[in-house]
Chain A
Amino acid sequence: MSQQSARSLRRPYRRLGTAVLVMLSLLLVNIGYIQVVKSDEYRTNPANKRTALDDFNRQRGQITAAGGVVLARSVPSDDQYRYQRSYPRGAAYANITGYLSLRYGSTGLENSFNDVLSGDDPALLVDNVSDLVTGRDPRGGNVELTLVPKLQELAYQQLTAKGFTGAVVALRPKTGEVLALVTSPSFNPNPLASHSDAVQKAAYNQLVEARNTSKPSPDVNRSIESVYPPGSTFKLIVAAAALQNGYTPNTAVTGVSTITLPGTGGATLSNYGNETCANKGGSDVSLTEALAHSCNTAFAQVGMKLGADTLRSQAAAFGVGEGGDLGGLQIAPSRVGDMPDAAAVAQSSIGQRDVAFTPYQNAEVVATIANGGLRMQPYLVSRLTKPDLSLLQPATEPTTIGQAIPTSTADQIRSMMLDSEQEMSTASDPALKIASKTGTAEHGADPKNTPPHAWYVAFAPADDPQIAVSVFVADGGDQGLNAIGATVAAPIGQAVIKAALGKS
């Protein structure tokens, strides 16, 4: 073999070498295209599970209540994920914090503030890039709430101690801060955030089990998601409308035990227990007395005189029909319903028929009265902070919505409510200056034989209101058909007010 022919014989090998370089370079160019050009598109594709799983591998931010009490946090974990999401205060806050589950996704604030908590919020990106450079784990921002743990947990404990289905909402009248937002029954969110699929499944099945039964669902936030007939608490709105339309607290109204509804062919509307108003034998009473004794006949007649439109616009001024949201938690709109005729107006005036309020709506009504008629925008989230606790955006400032009623009217209702509190069998110490109204609302297909819903709305101290509460207990609580707002709901509201005023 000569050298020349040996070299020419090997020439295809060199060409093949070039071909191999081209083939493998093609692979590289294609991989580069995927990992550089298309990288973002693939990474953020909703079908890419890695992004969701990522949440369990980085330190998600905290959700805290007033005073820095931690409601949700991520603690280092030594299993297949790096962090375990935990809810140290558990069920009392479960319908607010929600949960973050691998299998079932997220709910509550975990869902609505996901970008902040996970660190994906654009305002946090700069920090995260610098974390990347310094080699620190990217961390999420924090959500600070206005909730006062003392009140939230007291209210939750009060409701659950007796196995009540219900809700408590507490607002700071001057600012609109939500101090408590409680629902019962609730659930423990911790197992849903478990890294064990089996634990998650069991907890979730338990959570949704109630949907197929008549038992109350633990994952419904009754304080904002459900509406109930407000009963006599609605009389505050009727009174507010009356006082602006020629009535005074001393205006005489009917004191009879029963009235016949016009245009119904004899249907009647009676006072509670079929009694005459304030035990005055059926003679006229003042508007103040009628409210204090919660006389149905009087308010039915006042309502009919005012008319459907006046009532509806007064309710709207208090926010009925608006709905909205608290930090992304949806608020169901409350309603007064259709009032096609005088009979309907009469029934609606005592908070029955189609009138339906969220406990939150009722809290807003009394908070507005407490604040001299000036409606404040309620808010649940006070601040969003970065991982280093500096502000992510300006802290929430109290904002006004508008004057729902004139200050003079608010003052008149305030003193009527002070009388109302003292008329109760469960009246509080007058020194607390609690102004309140109870409600006992019939509902269901057979109202006379269904335990009524019990309500208590109040604020205190009347001359310098620090707190406004709305307490709702479904189906008579533990007192069945005999339940009334004063005996079932009022003690809970009074306990919360005392705690808020430091008098407990």
Chain B
Amino acid sequence: MTPPHGIITRIARTGRAAELGLLVFAAVIVTSALVIVELNQNRGITLDLLWYGAGYLAALAVTHLLVRRFAPYADPVLMPVAALLNGLGLVMIHRLDLASVANAAAEDQPDPGLQAPLQLMWTGVALVLFLVVLVVIRDHKVLQSYAYTIALLGFIFLAVPAVLPARFSEVNGAKIWIKIPGVFSIQPAEFAKIALIIFAAAFLTSKAQVLNSAGKKVFGLVLPRIRDLGPLLLALILALGVLVRGKDLGTSLLLFGTLLVMIYLATSRVSWLIIGLIGFAGGAVLMYRLFGHVRLRVDIWLHPFADAQNTGYQLVQSLFGLGTGGIFGTGLGAGRPDIVPYASTDFITAALGEELGLVGLTVIILLYMILTTRGLRTAIAAKDNFGALLAGGLAFSFALQVFIIIGGVTRLIPLTGLTTPFLSYGGSSLLANYVMLALLIRISDSSRRPDKPVSRKPSTPLVEAGTEMVPVVRKHSLRKPSGEAS
């Protein structure tokens, strides 16, 4: 690979220089944020901070160099966006650590466990896993051939907490963990989600033709033939069953929404979306009727102040924090985000909103917007339908997850527990998100990579070579707005 590589870089831009620049930018912002926290908490500014910043930059630099080696044509924006979100999350988790240490000291209680060093450790592990995925999966199309195996493994993994005794699987009333008390705990649903998206992409790619053609028409809706979707529906129902039983409403909603959108992406049929939404509405009403904890969530959403000191406490404190932060925020380290329970996981948006204000949250949501649109762009530019569908599914799941959790924290929709991608404290979530990022980068590398034959004799064939594929790529990147001609 190496010999032609040097020649091609001159012709097709890899974007690696841009990536490096953006990564440095992200590291500078994260280091500055850390310095502001320390200043506002009246802690001494030591050289240690510089080391943290440099260490973070070094980890990113190593990742960057390996991306250069193993995915040289990857989208240059994806990695820095994730790094910035991850870094801001680390700073906020560290800041909440300071608060919990101070609170414990004031209460004369023993020092609480620190989350930031753990999250830093998980960030390291996640970056390694990210690189492993890039190195092992040199072509994303291999995943297509193992789709059923992956789906089975994912489902088994997902189902493990349901069979484990509560001691090994229950945290805060949700039976969705695999934990060895005191050692580690993981949330298999995070990984099962990826397995299900890969399976759905493979399955829908293979059935696209059938799904597109067959079906009866009723009231203007083309009704799909259920048997065409059989295996996918079975996988979805099994997964939702396990999740709902474990009270993991957030992940259920995320999986359902992602798969529904993937079916739409594969078939272009709006009728699928409408049927799916009707099904969702029915399911939601059913769950509301059946489960007390679902009713409670809805009640809190409608009337958070009715029981502000008890059931509504968390959401009310989240709103108070956001309101106190206002437009510009209190400043990092100068607010009281620790008042909101679970500020470092589900409610990290409330913590960031309190200290960084509307301005900060806007930037964070714009980062997610960039992450998703770059992911969808990767999908559009993909050379194969499986790659497109996989990238589309992954990208949308980021956006949907952000919508569900931030919407919940800000009382736009009822709250269902989920992590905020890359920001929240949590090893499983971080690992899964970096795996998803690696897959997106792998697909974007293949879609932006000029065809192999070009590199052999670069001087003459440039114009003629790749007459089939190259123009497609260029058209979509250059003529995006006019691409809608029909």
Interface of A with B (CB < 8 Å)?
3, 6-14, 16-17, 20-21, 23-24, 26-28, 30-32, 34-36, 38-43, 45, 47-51, 53, 57, 78-80, 82, 195-198
Report how far A45 CA is from B483 CA in the complex, Å. 52
Known: A45-B320, A198-B107. A20 touches B410 (CB 8 A): no
Residues B102 and A34 in contact, CB atoms below 8 Å apart: no
For residue A82, which residue of chain B has the nearest CB? B42
Across-interface contacts of A10 in B (CB, < 8 A): 379-380, 388, 476, 483
Report how far A158 CA is from B319 CA in the complex, Å. 54
* Sampled A-B contacts (27; CB under 8 Å): A10-B483, A11-B484, A12-B265, A13-B379, A16-B261, A20-B369, A24-B399, A24-B402, A27-B412, A28-B362, A30-B410, A30-B412, A31-B410, A34-B411, A35-B322, A35-B327, A40-B323, A42-B319, A43-B326, A45-B320, A48-B323, A50-B321, A50-B335, A50-B336, A57-B334, A80-B99, A80-B105
Residues B106 and A80 in contact, CB atoms below 8 Å apart: yes
Across-interface contacts of A195 in B (CB, < 8 A): 106
Residues B339 and A50 in contact, CB atoms below 8 Å apart: yes
Known: A9-B385, A24-B368, A26-B412. A34 touches B323 (CB 8 A): yes
For residue B261, which residue of chain A has the nearest CB? A16
Across-interface contacts of A41 in B (CB, < 8 A): 323
For residue B316, which residue of chain A has the nearest CB? A47
Report how far A31 CA is from B380 CA in the complex, Å. 31
By secondary structure, the B interface counts as: helix
Residues A27 and B42 in contact, CB atoms below 8 Å apart: no
Across-interface contacts of A17 in B (CB, < 8 A): 372-373, 376
Interface positions of B from 377 to 403, Cβ below 8 Å from A: 379-380, 385, 388, 392, 396, 399-400, 402-403
Residues B327 and A36 in contact, CB atoms below 8 Å apart: yes
Q: Say if the beta carbon of B246 comes within 8 Å of chain A.
A: no
User: B484: which of A14, A34, A78, A82 is its contact (CB, 8 Å)?
Assistant: A14
Residues B323 and A43 in contact, CB atoms below 8 Å apart: yes
Q: How far is the CB of A464 from chain B (nearest CB, A)?
A: 55
Across-interface contacts of A21 in B (CB, < 8 A): 369, 373
Across-interface contacts of B399 in A (CB, < 8 A): 20, 23-24
- A-B pairs under 8 A by CB, number: 162
Across-interface contacts of A30 in B (CB, < 8 A): 407, 410-412
Q: How far is the CB of A397 from chain B (nearest CB, A)?
A: 40
Q: Say if the beta carbon of B7 comes within 8 Å of chain A.
A: no
Known: A17-B373, A24-B365, A26-B412. A31 touches B392 (CB 8 A): no
Q: How far is the CB of A221 from chain B (nearest CB, A)?
A: 30
Known: A51-B324, A78-B42. 8 other contacts (CB 8 A): A13-B392, A16-B376, A20-B396, A24-B399, A28-B361, A39-B324, A43-B326, A50-B335
Residues B369 and A24 in contact, CB atoms below 8 Å apart: yes
Residues B42 and A34 in contact, CB atoms below 8 Å apart: no
Known: A27-B406, A30-B407, A48-B324. A16 touches B265 (CB 8 A): yes
Q: How far is the CB of B354 from chain A (nearest CB, A)?
A: 8
Across-interface contacts of A13 in B (CB, < 8 A): 265, 376, 379-380, 388, 392
Report how far A41 CA is from B324 CA in the complex, Å. 9
Q: How far is the CB of B445 from chain A (nearest CB, A)?
A: 19
Known: A24-B369, A30-B410. A3 touches B475 (CB 8 A): yes
Report how far A11 CA is from B486 CA in the complex, Å. 10
Q: Say if the beta carbon of B477 comes within 8 Å of chain A.
A: no
For residue A40, which residue of chain B has the nearest CB? B323
Residues B322 and A42 in contact, CB atoms below 8 Å apart: yes
Report how far A268 CA is from B473 CA in the complex, Å. 118
Across-interface contacts of B484 in A (CB, < 8 A): 11, 14
Residues A34 and B319 in contact, CB atoms below 8 Å apart: yes
Residues B336 and A197 in contact, CB atoms below 8 Å apart: no
For residue A10, which residue of chain B has the nearest CB? B380
Across-interface contacts of B322 in A (CB, < 8 A): 31, 34-35, 42
Residues A39 and B316 in contact, CB atoms below 8 Å apart: no
Across-interface contacts of B6 in A (CB, < 8 A): none
Across-interface contacts of A34 in B (CB, < 8 A): 319, 322-323, 410-411
Interface positions of B from 463 to 486, Cβ below 8 Å from A: 471-472, 475-476, 483-484, 486
Report how far A38 CA is from B323 CA in the complex, Å. 6
Report how far A39 CA is from B353 CA in the complex, Å. 12
